[in-house]
A and B are shown apart, each in its own frame.
Chain A
Amino acid sequence: MKQWLTNVLLETGEYIKENETVGTKVELFNLEITDGFISQIISAAQPIDSSQQVTDMKGKLLLPAFKEMHNHLDKTYLSLPWKAVVPAKNLKDRLEKEARELPILATTGKQRALAMIEKIISNGTNHIRTHVNIDPYIGLKNLEGVLAALDDYKDIVTAEVIAFPQHGLLQDDVPKLLREALRNGATMIGGLDPAGIDNTIERSLYETMDIAHEFNVDVDIHLHDGGHVGYYTIDKWIDIVEEANYRGRTAISHAFALGDVSLMEQHTIADRLAQQQIKIMSTVPFNINRVMPPIDLLSAHGVDVHFGCDGFYDSWSPYGSGDVLEKTTTFADITRKLDERSIRQVLKYITNGITPLNTDGQMVWPNVKDEASFVFFDAVSSAEVIARRPIDRIVMSKGKFIR
C-alpha cells in the first residue's frame, strides 16, 4: 500500500541567526510511504501522484517515533481508582507490601496493561521494553496479562518482555519459574540487585547468564545497588559477558552506582561497557537522594543509553506521565543544556540513537527505506520539541496513523 504525506517539515541543517546563535534550517517535503517504509522523499514543491492516499501534514515537524526502554506494564494501577503509595519502612517492607497486593492486582492484569500501553503510545512511542514480575506469589499471571495486552497492539507496537525476578532470583523455585516464563512468551531475562536482594553477587549474575544462554535471549538487569557494591556488580557482569560471548546483548537498568563513583572510575567502566556494548537504561531520576548516572559521559565513550518512564501510578511510584519525551526535557534541563545544538542531541536517548541532524548539523534522517514510524509536532526543531514538550502530537507507526 502506498500513501503520500505532504508538507512535512524536516530539519535539513543549521544556520547562524541574526542574533548570532545557531538555528535549525527546515524545509518542506513530501514523503511517499510504501508498506510501512519510506519509499520517496521529494521537495514539497514537486508534484505527487494524487491517485494515492494523500495526507497534508500542514508543515508539522517530523521526528522518529519514540522508544520506551524501561517500563513495568504489569504494575500500574491505571484504570483502577486512584491510590497513592502506602508508606514503607524499607525495601523489605515495600516488597512484602507488594507481595500481598500482587494476587489482587493479577486479576486485572490485561486491563491495566492496556491502559498503560494506550497512554504510552498516545505520546508518540511505538516500542516498549517492559519488565514483568515473575515471582513466587503470582507465578506467570502478570506475564499472561501483559502478553495478552501487547497482542492487542501487535500491529503498531513492538515489544520486549523481560522475565523479571522482582522478589529475588535465588529463592524458592524462581529460576524454574523464569525458565517457564521464557518458554511462554517472555523474550528476555531480567535481574535485580544481586547484592541488595540476592545477597550473593557472583552466583546471582552467573545464574542469570546461564538462563540467558539456555534460551538464547538478551539480558536487562535492574541495578539500584549504589556505591562500590553496585560498581563492582557492573564490573563483574562485564567479565561474565566477556566470558560468555554476550557482547551487545545485555543492559543494566538504573545503574545508580555509576553516579556515585569517582570520575576516573566512571571513565574506566564506560570504556569497558562500550567494549562489550552493554546498554544503560535510565529513568532520569532526580529525587534528592540520588545522583544520576553520568549519561553524557557514558554516551561520549560510546555506550548506548536509553530512557524509559519506569513503572508509574503503582505501588512504587505515584507519579509519572507515560511520556518518554518528558524524560529528555528533564534530562536537558537537569544537565543545563541551553543552546540549540546541545538540546537537540538529547533526542537520541529516546529514538534508539536517531537524530535528524548529526552533531555537526548535517541531515542524516529520514532516508528512503527507513521505517515510517513518526511523531509530528507543531514545532520548528528537535530542540524546540525537547525544551517545550508540546502536548499535541500526531503519531504514525509503520505507515499507520495511530493518533
Chain B
Amino acid sequence: MCKLLLKNVRLEEAYEYENEHIVGTRTAIYDVLIEGGHVQQVDKNIVVDGDVEVLDAQKQLLVPSFREMHIHIDKTYFGGEWQAPRPITKGILTRIEEERTLLPKQLPTAAFRAEEMVKWLIAQGHTHIRSHCNVDPQIGTKHIEITKQVLEKYQDQITYDIVAFPQHGLLRSNVEGLIREAMTMGATLVGGVDPSIVDRDIERSLQTTMQIAQDYNAGIDIHIHTPNTLGEFEFYKLIDLTKQAKKEGQVTISHAMALADLPQPQLESLVQAMASIQMDVTTTVPVAINRSTIPIPYLYDNGVNVSVGHDSLTDHWSPYGTGNTITKLNIMAERFRFMDEYSLSRAWKYASGGITPLNDKGERVWPKVGDAANMLLVDGVSSAHIVARRCPISTVISQGKVIHQQEVGELKGEFR
C-alpha cells in the first residue's frame, strides 16, 4: 500500500495576537494525503477511493520529524547494564586511552546496542541519524561495518549518514589509511577531532582531512571542542581549506565550543566567514557549569545553521542523555529563556533540518504538496506547547509510511 491518508490532523495556521504580542497559535483540522513518500494533498475532508491506508489522528498536531545530527551509536552502554564512567584524569585523553581496551571488549555487543539505540531514536521521532563511528588502530574499521549493517537494516525507515571518525586522532593514531578504507566501505562523511589538542598539528590534520574528503567526494563533520581563540584559529583554517576545495555547504563543525567564548566583534567576523561558505554547526546544548552554550539563535539568525544532537545516551564518556529531542528542545528553551509562544515555536527548526510548520512571519509553509512526508503526530496543540510541556509523540511517519506508533494514554490536547 503506498497511499496514506491522515484524517483529522491539526495543522498550525497562524499566530494569534493580543496587543501586538503573539500569545498563541491558531490551528485547524485537516486531512493530509500522502503518496510515494510525499504530500499529495492537504485539504478538509479528503475522500480517496481504492487502496489507501487511513489513520485517524484524532486532532493531534502534525509536525516535522526530527533529525539526530550528532550521535555515536557504535560505542554505547545503552541496552546494556548500568555503568557509571570513570573519573576523568587526563581530559579527552583519559577516554582515548580507555577506548583501547574497552571498545575491543564491547565488540560482541556493539551491534545489539547500536540497534537498540536506533530503535529508541526512531521512537523519539527521528527519521534521520548522523552517527560518528570510531576508526582507530584497535577497532580498525569494524565499527564502520557494524554501524553500516545496523543502519542498512533500517534503511526503509530512516535515512542516515556515517561519519568516519578518527577518535584517537587522524595523525596521532596514524589512521589516514583506515579512514580511506572506511570511505570505500560506505562511510558518507569524513570526520575529525581537535586538530590541535589531539593531533598537535593543526595544518596537516585539517589538510589531510580535506584531502580525503576531496578524494572520496564527501563532506566533512569535525569535532572541535577547543575554546576561544584556539577554536577560532582552527575554524578559520578550515574555512580557507573549504574554499580552496570548493566544499561550500558540505562542512560541519560539531560542538564548536569556541563560539560560546568569543567576544562580539570577533564572533561577528567568524560567523560571517562561516556563513559565507554555508558551514553549519551541531550542538548538544551543553549546560555544564564549566562549558558555555554556543549562542544558537544568534548563529542561526546570522546565517549559520545549527542542529541539535544527543551525542551520547549513556556510555563511558557520560551517563546522561535521553535521546528525546523534545526534551532537548525544552532544555534549550529554558537555557535561552524562550518562554513565549513565538520563541518556543521557533525552536523546532534546530531539530528538524530547518523545517517548521509556520515561517518566521507566521505563514503556514508546511506541510505543502510535494514535501517529503517525514512527520510526527503529537498530543499537543502547537509547536510551542510541545516544546514547553514535552507533549508525547504517538506516531512517527517516515517517507510516507507509519514506522512507529506508541501508546500515549488518553489524548489531552490543549490540557496536556
For the side of the interface on A, what is the size category? Answer: 35 or more
Is A43 among interface residues, defined by CB-CB distance under 8 A? no
- Contact assessment for A387 and B21 in the assembled complex, using a CB-CB cutoff below 8 Å: no
Q: Which of A356-403 contact B (CB under 8 A)?
A: 379-381, 383-384, 387-389
Main secondary structure, interface of B, reads loop
Main secondary structure, interface of A, reads loop
Is A321 among interface residues, defined by CB-CB distance under 8 A? yes
Assuming the contacts A82-B385, A87-B340, asked whether A287 and B335 have C-beta atoms less than 8 A apart, the reply is yes
**B175 vs chain A, min Cβ distance (A):** 25
Q: Which of A187-222 contact B (CB under 8 A)?
A: none
**A369 vs chain B, min Cβ distance (A):** 31
- Contact assessment for A336 and B290 in the assembled complex, using a CB-CB cutoff below 8 Å: yes
**Interface 9-mer from A168-176, A228-236, A337-345:** A337-345
- Contact assessment for A292 and B335 in the assembled complex, using a CB-CB cutoff below 8 Å: no
**B333 vs chain A, min Cβ distance (A):** 6
**Interface 9-mer from A52-60, A247-255, A268-276, A327-335:** A327-335
- Contact assessment for B84 and A340 in the assembled complex, using a CB-CB cutoff below 8 Å: yes
Q: Which residues of B contact A340 (CB under 8 A)?
A: 84
Is A137 among interface residues, defined by CB-CB distance under 8 A? no
- For B333, give its contact among A319, A333, A338 (CB under 8 Å): A319
Q: Which residues of A contact B388 (CB under 8 A)?
A: 82, 84, 313, 318-319
Is A40 among interface residues, defined by CB-CB distance under 8 A? no
Give bound CA distance, A288 to B389, whole Å.
Answer: 20
- Contact assessment for A339 and B86 in the assembled complex, using a CB-CB cutoff below 8 Å: yes
- Contact assessment for A387 and B319 in the assembled complex, using a CB-CB cutoff below 8 Å: yes
- Contact assessment for A82 and B382 in the assembled complex, using a CB-CB cutoff below 8 Å: yes
**B156 vs chain A, min Cβ distance (A):** 30
**A22 vs chain B, min Cβ distance (A):** 8
Is A289 among interface residues, defined by CB-CB distance under 8 A? yes
Assuming the contacts A84-B341, A288-B336, A387-B319, asked whether A380 and B82 have C-beta atoms less than 8 A apart, the reply is yes
Q: Which residues of B contact A80 (CB under 8 A)?
A: 415
Give bound CA distance, A82 to B386, whole Å.
Answer: 10
- Contact assessment for A336 and B289 in the assembled complex, using a CB-CB cutoff below 8 Å: yes
**B74 vs chain A, min Cβ distance (A):** 19
- For B339, give its contact among A84, A335, A384 (CB under 8 Å): A84
Give bound CA distance, A86 to B344, whole Å.
Answer: 12
**A346 vs chain B, min Cβ distance (A):** 12
- Contact assessment for A334 and B289 in the assembled complex, using a CB-CB cutoff below 8 Å: yes
Give bound CA distance, A387 to B390, whole Å.
Answer: 19
Is A300 among interface residues, defined by CB-CB distance under 8 A? no
Q: Interface centre among B330, B387, B415, by most A CB within 10 Å?
A: B415
Is B104 among interface residues, defined by CB-CB distance under 8 A? no
Q: Which residues of B contact A184 (CB under 8 A)?
A: none
Is B272 among interface residues, defined by CB-CB distance under 8 A? no
Is B192 among interface residues, defined by CB-CB distance under 8 A? no
Is B416 among interface residues, defined by CB-CB distance under 8 A? yes
Is B147 among interface residues, defined by CB-CB distance under 8 A? no
Q: Which of B311-367 contact A (CB under 8 A)?
A: 314, 318-320, 322, 330-331, 333-337, 339-341, 344
- For B287, give its contact among A21, A286, A319, A388 (CB under 8 Å): A286
Q: Which of B272-304 contact A (CB under 8 A)?
A: 287-290, 292-293
Is A107 among interface residues, defined by CB-CB distance under 8 A? no
Give bound CA distance, A158 to B24, whole Å.
Answer: 37
Q: Which residues of A contact B287 (CB under 8 A)?
A: 286, 330, 333-334
- Contact assessment for A319 and B381 in the assembled complex, using a CB-CB cutoff below 8 Å: no
Assuming the contacts A319-B389, A338-B85, asked whether A86 and B314 have C-beta atoms less than 8 A apart, the reply is no
Q: Which residues of B contact A83 (CB under 8 A)?
A: 23-24
Is A244 among interface residues, defined by CB-CB distance under 8 A? no
Is B83 among interface residues, defined by CB-CB distance under 8 A? yes
Is B384 among interface residues, defined by CB-CB distance under 8 A? yes
- For B82, give its contact among A81, A86, A384 (CB under 8 Å): A384
- For A339, give its contact among B82, B85, B102, B339 (CB under 8 Å): B85
Is A245 among interface residues, defined by CB-CB distance under 8 A? no
Give bound CA distance, A182 to B21, whole Å.
Answer: 39
- For A313, give its contact among B318, B335, B389 (CB under 8 Å): B389
Q: Which residues of B contact A334 (CB under 8 A)?
A: 287-289
Q: Which residues of A contact B380 (CB under 8 A)?
A: 82
Assuming the contacts A292-B289, A333-B287, A334-B287, asked whether A85 and B339 have C-beta atoms less than 8 A apart, the reply is yes
Q: Which of B2-19 contact A (CB under 8 A)?
A: 18
**B402 vs chain A, min Cβ distance (A):** 24
**A112 vs chain B, min Cβ distance (A):** 12
- Contact assessment for B381 and A82 in the assembled complex, using a CB-CB cutoff below 8 Å: yes
- For A84, give its contact among B85, B293, B331, B344 (CB under 8 Å): B344
- Contact assessment for A339 and B320 in the assembled complex, using a CB-CB cutoff below 8 Å: no
- Contact assessment for B24 and A288 in the assembled complex, using a CB-CB cutoff below 8 Å: no
- For B288, give its contact among A19, A318, A335, A384 (CB under 8 Å): A335
- Contact assessment for B86 and A338 in the assembled complex, using a CB-CB cutoff below 8 Å: yes
Is B1 among interface residues, defined by CB-CB distance under 8 A? no
- Contact assessment for B83 and A84 in the assembled complex, using a CB-CB cutoff below 8 Å: no
Looking across the interface, which residue of chain B has its beta carbon closest to that of A285?
B334
Give bound CA distance, A384 to B23, whole Å.
Answer: 40
Q: Interface centre among B82, B336, B340, B341, by most A CB within 10 Å?
A: B82
**A99 vs chain B, min Cβ distance (A):** 16
Is B88 among interface residues, defined by CB-CB distance under 8 A? yes
Q: Which residues of A contact B102 (CB under 8 A)?
A: 19
Assuming the contacts A288-B336, A289-B337, asked whether A82 and B84 have C-beta atoms less than 8 A apart, the reply is no
- For B23, give its contact among A17, A84, A321 (CB under 8 Å): A84
Interface residues of A (CB under 8 A from B): 17, 19-22, 79-87, 286-289, 292, 313, 317-319, 321, 329-330, 332-336, 338-340, 342-343, 379-381, 383-384, 387-389
Please list 7 pairs of residues, one from A and one from B, whose beta carbons are closer than 8 Å in the complex, sorted by A's number.
A81-B415, A82-B415, A82-B416, A86-B21, A86-B23, A288-B336, A318-B384
Contacts A82-B380, A84-B385, A338-B87 known; list 7 others, CB within 8 Å. Answer: A84-B388, A288-B336, A292-B289, A318-B388, A319-B330, A319-B333, A381-B82
